[in-house]
Structure 1
Amino acid sequence: MESLVRNMRIIWRAELLIIEAKLNVAAKRIGATAFAGLIFIFGLGMLNVAGFFALEEIWGPVYAALGVSIADFLIAALLILWASRLTTGPELELAREVRDAGLEELEAKAEHIQDEVMAVRDELLALKKSMASFSRNPLDSTINSLLTPILTLLIKSLSKSKN
């Protein structure tokens, strides 16, 4: 029973590690996406103004605004692409292996317990049969249990007397 509880704790801890790893990645993705959004907003605000004024003299007002906005969109797209490619580390795979090993051991223990229960059931059925037989004919079962040792002794004594 103690190993069953230990296996359940191991499985529980492994599941917690898996959930924690997934939550960490989700938090990083959300943070990176939010940061990309923040850069997008500030990029459209401050950097656009600065870039616009710098490019206005070279390209003119229309092309300067277009160039600055394209640069902002590219930066935001790169950050979103980076955030979407974040994955869990090797600790997630290790946690899954520990969980699977715990489940396998738990299944083996359950099969062992089931075999023990079936053996106890078979013994109880045999006991029930013998009790039913004894209750129907108590003299027969007593004679059978005494007759075997008596016959064994008789056979031994007869074989000794011949020798």
Structure 2
Amino acid sequence: MNTENIVRHLRVLWRTDRIIADIRLRHLLMGLGLRAFAALIAAFGLLMLELSAYFALVQIWSAIAAAAILGAVNFLIAGVLFVIAGRPPSGRDIELANEIHDASIEALQLEARALQAQVSGAVHHPLSTVAPVLVPLIAIIVKNLRKTAKETAASSEAPA
């Protein structure tokens, strides 16, 4: 268990989440723009169909057929734009970002399991976790006691 690994995995997770959100946002904005354009064309198509109905009442053939055909073509274009806007985002970018995201989640889970094992080992065997710290600490204490013993012996011999 290493805190540096946890921080690194969290940074990778954060970055991949940002990339995934960016990809989805770009796709959403592009789809929204195409849908808005398709809606505009559909409104124009509806206007042309209404215009053709008007011309049907005023004149019988030439202007009616032209406006009806133009309205139908506008609806067809709007339908094609809606289909294009509804496509899922590009596969490579989102797949790669999802793979990195999943890998960082797995690495964080492994680090959490290692931390859990370390904590449970410390609870069950407290001396095994304290021993690596105690041995150097005992050596330092013994060294300091020897120094003070020599210093007190030297100071007591000096006046005599």
Name the TM tier (shorter chain): 0.5 to 0.7
Counterparts in 2 of 1:58-77, with a 5 A limit?
59-77=61-79
Counterparts in 2 of 1:131-146, with a 5 A limit?
none
What is the aligned counterpart of 1:121 among 117, 120, 123?
A: 123
Task: Report the residue type matching 1:11 in the other structure.
Answer: L
Contact 1:29 1:86 in 2 (8 A): no
Contact 1:22 1:88 in 2 (8 A): no
Task: Report the residue type matching 2:40 in the other structure.
Answer: L
Contact 1:7 1:105 in 2 (8 A): yes
Aligned-residue offset at 1:73:
1.2
- String of CA shifts for 1:101-122, please: whole Å, max 9, x gaps: 1111111111111111111111
Aligned-residue offset at 1:80:
1.2
Q: What's 1:78 paired with?
A: 80
Report whether the alignment pairs 1:13 with 2:15. Answer: yes
Partners of 1:123 and 1:86 in 2: how far apart? Answer: 54
Counterparts in 2 of 1:1-163, with a 5 A limit?
1-42=3-44, 59-124=61-126
Instruction: Using the aligned pairs only, state the percent identity.
Output: 36
Partners of 1:103 and 1:87 in 2: how far apart? Answer: 23
Contact 2:44 2:74 in 1 (8 A): no
Partners of 1:19 and 1:76 in 2: how far apart? Answer: 28
Aligned-residue offset at 1:71:
1.7
Structure 2 unmatched runs, 5+? 129-160
| Greater radius of gyration (CA) | 1
Aligned-residue offset at 1:31:
0.5
The two structures have a TM-score, normalised by structure 2, of 0.64
- Give the count of matched residue pairs: 123
Aligned-residue offset at 1:5:
0.7
Task: Report the residue type matching 1:67 in the other structure.
Answer: I
CA-atom RMSD, angstroms? 3.2
Contact 2:41 2:75 in 1 (8 A): no
